[in-house]
Structure 1
Amino acid sequence: MAGKQSHVVIFPFPLQGHMKPLLCLAELLCHAGLHVTYVNTHQNHKRLANPQALSTHFPTLHFESISDGLPDDHPRALNSELLIAFKTSIRPHFRELLKTISLKAESNDALVPPPSCIMADGLVTFAFDVAEELGLPILSYNVPCPGYLWTCLCLPKLIEDGQLPFQDDDMTVEITGVPGMEGLLYRQDLPGFCLVKQADHPVLQFFMNETQILKRASALILDTVYELDAPLLSHMGLIFPKIYTLGPLHALLNSQIGDVSRGLASHGSLWKSDLNYMTWLDSQSSRSVIYVSFGTFVQLTRAQVTEFWYGLVNSGHPFLWARN
């Protein structure tokens, strides 16, 4: 994928925590001279704060949107139903978009080359079928930490060994059979879909099968530093032909384009950004602020939120809590 004729099509899962890092990676690729088409759903593309500003700063960054195949009044709440619906309903729209982009690139006055490869979020597994159908290599970008992904890849072995499903409610039992995580992994650390009582439960099977699809990737991209996860990455390297560690992406982008990256970040947000907190942060001493963010997936009860709140207040340290 060398030279200006390279064109990467990026498709994030349509959640803020997945869209932002892949948009950051898109900007890095554009800065390196590649063309990038960033694909979004119609609903989320309308909510982007200022994609025009991003395209102005990165002339080779192009935005496209497609239907997610769901009715307008669908709540689009994050659950297994949404994941299954997303997988089945959006695939034909993505395939047609890629064909359209390729046809446009064939014209004599085309400014954008045809797609060279697809870079898909780890939850956008239907892109593997589309990429293989069109003869394009596919790279899988995964938002969760390597430990989460590696554990999910080992789920068939845990079922085979009888460690899943759990035979009792003791969540302090150590999980063995995940190479590189000996003495570190316990039942309480496993994803929520591992709490089901039957090994053939459709939700467990869905997530397990989706993770196995990632093995078909030409390369795996992880937002981490190699030295932090070297033991796990050595095992994962036996499965994936290539693994690239590119974290932290926001720091990498800042090192490439400077402080302007801070201002550009808000343009790719689904919510209007209130940057007043920056003034407060600048008034705090270096390395003194606790930053808290549980992301989009975690659902906290009122009691849990209150408990965290008391803990933060009683810590005596200033803190910044980001909540969606």
Structure 2
Amino acid sequence: MEASSDIQIQSMKVPHLVILPAPFQGHINPMLQLASLLHSKGFSITVIHSQINSPNPANFPNFHFEPMQDVSNDALSYVPDPLTALSILNDKCQTPFHDTLSRLLSDGPHGPVTCIIADELFYFTKAIADQFKLPRILLGTTSASFYTTMAFLSLLQQNGVISITADAQPNTLIPETPLRIKDIPVFSTEGPATSEQIWANILNAIRSSLGYIMNTFDGLELDALVKIRQDRHPTPVFVVGPLYKFLPGTLNSLLTQDYSCMAWLDKQAPQSVIYVSFGSVASIDKTDVEEIAWGLANSEQSFLWVIRPGSIHGHDWVELPEGFEEKTQKRGRIIKWAPQQEVLAHPSVGGFWTHNGWNSTLESICEGVPMLCSPYLWDQNVNARYASHVWRVGIQLENGFDRNEIERAVRRLMVEIEGKEMRERVGALKENAMRGMVKGASSYKSLQSLIDLIMSL
């Protein structure tokens, strides 16, 4: 089923959008997918971006790129935790974004700025948009379930209903949610701002925006989306996912993709390969690599395993255990980075062992591939819990990386009846996603409403 693409702006005026992605792989891609989609409908796009993980302008020749003189990649290399990094970015990007935007407004070659579309993590944009009297729309790059989880937990903690402490029982269920205490994202920060302050800043930025765009679909997260729409009333929520399916091929990979794996996949049996990749941020220990290797080897299943350079603590690369390659050479392949969307869409792939970042989770669902879940940080614990216990399209590894548990879980996913049933459920969700994108359906109509809102400014 093809996504419909006949929405176009109905005006002689060409709206000019300023796009501000957060400088992380999982945030850059959906923002550039959204920008590409809006450009295909007739919008002019200027991307203002950080020096950290800068997008490649050659991949988007129709966009205008404006780098900010903010911080370099090295500037955050010794920051102790992600929330401190986020706080520093919000502080360091304010003046460069203000100055770049001011220049665009005064003598920009692409006409007046109609609207700012910023990543939800950049809460500093509210004050600057207000100063220039520009509308501001935010893009959410996490699941709707994560948003409602964090908003609900904030209320519970404020009212003393739950307390997340070191002595809390990890398997205790949280009222009115499918989550346990152990699934709650715990954010430590060594910066001056507390995790509660930073999350409050993000929520306030979202609630004060002109609109909130979400990369998901009604057929997957309807209950959470209903709650968000109630929370955001009367400001609209635009559910326009899955973004990558509206305009396939829009990608800005920060690492070189190894397409040679596609020829290897062509030689494998249908749904016989488990694809293993823990994303662009997660890192593991050398001992974890050994457990993963022997878990895969002992499962006797075919695998495509991504080992990202620098992803192993203290090592640029690591030697695999002695005897591993001999045992798996006919049914395994290891690469440094994969074209993930193409891999998941390949008919030989029958499972995805993932860190459950939202892009990876959504892509797995939209390609009809069940998951083995090993969450790492931020929203990933919530996504993994929903994948395994709400949508029932995944198996969560509860005890880290243990070769025996890995072996059992891989076999459950790939060859046992449990995996077959998950494959049927995720296939139904895939069809729901595709149906939502055709003319007159939910994601299609939400995209049209977003375009109509911007055109009314």
TM range (shorter): 0.7 to 0.9
Number of positions where the alignment pairs a residue of Structure 1 with one of Structure 2: 293
Name stretches of at least 5 consecutive residues in structure 1 with no aligned partner.
Answer: 255-260
Equivalent of 2:266, from 277, 282, 304?
Answer: 282
Correspondence for 1:300: 284
Supply the AA of the counterpart residue of 1:52. A
Correspondence for 1:154: 152
- Deviation string, structure 1 residues 234-265 (Cα, Å, up to 9, x no partner): 011012221222222222212xxxxxx2xx63
Correspondence for 1:258: none
Conservation of the 8 A alpha-carbon contact between 1:153 and 1:212 = no
* Alignment partners' CA distance in 2, 1:121 and 1:63: 16
Correspondence for 2:175: 176
Q: Does 1:92 align with 2:95?
A: yes
Among all aligned residue pairs of Structure 1 and Structure 2, give the percentage whose two residues are the same amino acid. 28
Q: CA RMSD in A?
A: 2.7
TM (norm. structure 2) is 0.58
The 5-angstrom pairing of residues 146-225 of structure 1 reads 146-159=144-157, 160-166=159-165, 168-177=167-176, 182=177, 184-193=178-187, 202-225=194-217
> Would the alpha carbon gap of residues 74 and 26 (structure 1) be closer, same or farther in structure 2, given more than 3 Å must change?
same
Conservation of the 8 A alpha-carbon contact between 2:123 and 2:201 = no
Conservation of the 8 A alpha-carbon contact between 2:276 and 2:304 = yes
Offset at residue 71 of structure 1 (A): 8.9
Q: Does 1:244 align with 2:244?
A: no
* Alignment partners' CA distance in 1, 2:214 and 2:244: 13
Conservation of the 8 A alpha-carbon contact between 1:14 and 1:40 = yes
> Would the alpha carbon gap of residues 125 and 309 (structure 1) be closer, same or farther in structure 2, given more than 3 Å must change?
farther
> Would the alpha carbon gap of residues 73 and 152 (structure 1) be closer, same or farther in structure 2, given more than 3 Å must change?
closer
Offset at residue 188 of structure 1 (A): 1.2
Offset at residue 10 of structure 1 (A): 1.3
> Would the alpha carbon gap of residues 222 and 83 (structure 1) be closer, same or farther in structure 2, given more than 3 Å must change?
same
Equivalent of 1:7, from 16, 37, 40?
Answer: 16
Equivalent of 1:54, from 32, 55, 60?
Answer: 60
Offset at residue 186 of structure 1 (A): 0.9
TM (norm. structure 1) is 0.80
Offset at residue 16 of structure 1 (A): 1.4
* Alignment partners' CA distance in 1, 2:284 and 2:34: 30
Offset at residue 2 of structure 1 (A): 5.7
Offset at residue 6 of structure 1 (A): 0.9
Offset at residue 286 of structure 1 (A): 4.1
> Would the alpha carbon gap of residues 253 and 288 (structure 1) be closer, same or farther in structure 2, given more than 3 Å must change?
farther
Offset at residue 70 of structure 1 (A): 6.0
* Alignment partners' CA distance in 2, 1:169 and 1:127: 37
Q: Does 1:113 align with 2:97?
A: no
Conservation of the 8 A alpha-carbon contact between 2:118 and 2:139 = yes
Conservation of the 8 A alpha-carbon contact between 1:40 and 1:66 = yes
Supply the AA of the counterpart residue of 2:68. I
Offset at residue 229 of structure 1 (A): 0.2
Q: Does 1:271 align with 2:255?
A: yes
Rg (Cα) greater in structure:
2
* Alignment partners' CA distance in 1, 2:53 and 2:91: 19
